[in-house]
């Protein structure tokens, strides 16, 4: 937790917030803060800054909060991800939030098992919890939007073309002829397949909608590895 993300319900006045639970445990056990110390904080979908620890007990920390800086800029990327298996999904979601992905679409694909859609990790509460962990890692505050589409064909035919307008549209697909571009200077849409990959039919449909198939070299990467590799190749975070 490189920043404690504060929600409306944490504020008791405009500049006072109370931390309990996981964030309080982190202050005690990892940061080992004392009264008077400053801790990095941010307001969800707002600015980042610091919180002065006014009172610290085993059950709560009272902070005086000053939020003067803007969070890091969002990635100009729409990420369309075939729903990963639940164990991986949680990690991928956190990674997406850490990398600055703000527009995430979870879609069905032939090789997505039906049971994946039943995971509790897709509940509003768990989505928020995991995106919060990812944002706190990156010192960011802007919660991503997560869209869920459980039917591949209607999504690709009816919604995808509008999402691609004015953007570079790519589908990461191993073994294809074109290398993935790098250092894009324009917004992009990126589709990433499931553990077993997109089928030929699905790649054809994505291409019909306007996506270009690209590869990352001969090594086949797990989704949780492919996402950060693709994102950092498309958008250089050091610029």
Query: What are the residues binding ligand SAM (CB under 6 A)?
Result: 172-174, 192-193, 195-198, 215-217, 219-223, 226
Q: Which is nearer to ligand SAM, 16 or 233 (CB)?
A: 233
Shortest CB 81 distance to ligand SAM, Å: 9
Smaller CB separation from ligand SAM, 22 or 222: 222
CB 85 within 8 A of CB 67: no
Around Cβ 147, how many Cβ atoms within 10 Å?
15
CA atoms within 13 A on the CB side of 53: 22
DSSP state of 111: T
CB of 234 to ligand SAM, least distance (A): 12
Q: How far is the CB of 104 from ligand SAM (least distance, A)?
A: 15
Q: Quick one: 71 or 193, whose CB is closer to ligand SAM? A: 193
CB distance 79 to 227 below 8 Å: yes
DSSP strand pairing (145-149 vs 4-6): unpaired
Shortest distance (Å) from residue 31 CB to ligand SAM: 36
**Which of 92/138 has CB closer to ligand SAM?**
92
DSSP-derived secondary structure for 81-101: EE---HHHHHHHHHHHHHHT-
Measured from the CB atom, the residue of 1 and 112 that comes closer to ligand SAM is: 112
SS3 153: helix
- Give residue number: closest CB to ligand SAM: 197
Nearest residue (CB) to ligand SAM, 43 versus 173: 173
CB of 91 to ligand SAM, least distance (A): 14
- Least distance from ligand SAM to the Cβ atom of residue 79, Å: 11
Report CA-CA distances (Å) from 11 to 89, 130, 140, 144, 210.
Answer: 31, 21, 18, 22, 46
């Amino acid at each position: 937790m490189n920043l404690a993300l504060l929600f409306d319900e944490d504020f008791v006045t405009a500049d006072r917030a109370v931390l309990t639970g996981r964030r309080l445990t982190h202050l005690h056990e990892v940061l080992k803060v004392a009264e008077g110390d400053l801790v990095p904080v941010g307001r969800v979908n707002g600015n980042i800054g610091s919180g002065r620890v006014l009172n610290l007990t085993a059950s709560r920390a009272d902070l005086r909060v000053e939020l003067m800086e803007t969070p890091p800029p969002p990635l100009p990327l729409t990420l369309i991800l075939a729903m990963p298996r639940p164990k991986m999904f949680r990690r991928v979601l956190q990674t997406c939030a850490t990398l600055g992905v703000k527009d995430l679409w979870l879609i069905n694909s032939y090789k997505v098992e039906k049971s994946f859609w039943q995971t509790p990790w897709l509940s509003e509460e768990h989505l928020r919890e995991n995106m919060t962990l990812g944002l706190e890692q990156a010192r960011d505050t802007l919660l991503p939007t997560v869209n869920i589409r459980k039917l591949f064909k209607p999504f690709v035919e009816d919604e995808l073309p509008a999402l691609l307008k004015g953007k570079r549209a790519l589908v990461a697909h191993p073994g294809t002829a074109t290398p993935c571009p790098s250092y894009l200077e324009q917004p992009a849409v990126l589709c990433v397949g499931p553990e077993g990959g997109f089928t030929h039919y699905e790649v054809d449909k994505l291409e019909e909608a306007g996506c270009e198939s690209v590869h990352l070299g001969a090594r086949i990467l797990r989704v949780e590895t492919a996402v950060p590799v693709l994102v950092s190749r498309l958008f250089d975070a050091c610029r």
